[in-house]
A and B are shown apart, each in its own frame.
Chain A
Amino acid sequence: GDSVTQTEGLVTLTKGLPVMLNCTYQTTYSPFLFWYVQHLNEAPKLLLKSSTDNKRTEHQGFYATLHKSSSSFHLQKSSVQLSDSALYFCALSDRGSSGSWQLIFGSGTQLTVMP
Chain B
Amino acid sequence: EAAVTQSPRNKVAVTGGKVTLSCNQTNNHNNMYWYRQDTGHGLRLIHYSYGAGSTEKGDIPDGYKASRPSQENFSLILELATPSQTSVYFCASGDVLGVNYAEQFFGPGTRLTVL
Chain A residues near B (Cβ < 8 Å): 9, 29-30, 32, 34, 41-46, 49, 51, 89, 93, 95-98, 100-103, 105-108
Contacts A30-B99, A93-B100 hold; do A105 and B50 have CB atoms under 8 A apart? no
Residue in A9, A41, A89, A97 whose beta carbon sits within 8 Å of that of B43 in the complex? A89
Evaluate contact between B106 and A100: CB separation under 8 angstroms. no
- A100 to B30, alpha carbons, bound, how many Å? 10
In the complex, the number of residue pairs spanning A and B with C-beta atoms less than 8 Å apart equals 67
A100 touches B90 (CB 8 A): no
Question: Would you call B100 and A103 a contact (CB within 8 A)?
Answer: no
Contact surface of B with A, Cβ cutoff 8 Å = 4, 31, 33, 40-45, 48, 50, 56, 58, 90, 96, 98-109
- Are A100 and B103 also in contact (CB < 8 A) when A106-B42, A107-B41 are? no
The secondary structure that dominates the A interface is: loop
- In the assembled complex, how far is the CB of residue A105 from the closest CB belonging to chain B, in whole angstroms? 4
The 9 closest A-B pairs by CB, nearest first: A101-B102, A32-B101, A93-B101, A43-B106, A107-B42, A100-B50, A105-B43, A108-B42, A98-B56
Which A residues touch B90, using CB under 8 A?
43-44
Which residues of the partner chain A approach B107 to less than 8 Å between Cβ atoms? Answer: 43
Report the minimum CB–CB distance from B68 to chain A (whole Å). Answer: 12
**A42, B108: Cβ atoms closer than 8 Å:** yes
Chain A residues near B105 (CB-CB < 8 A): 46
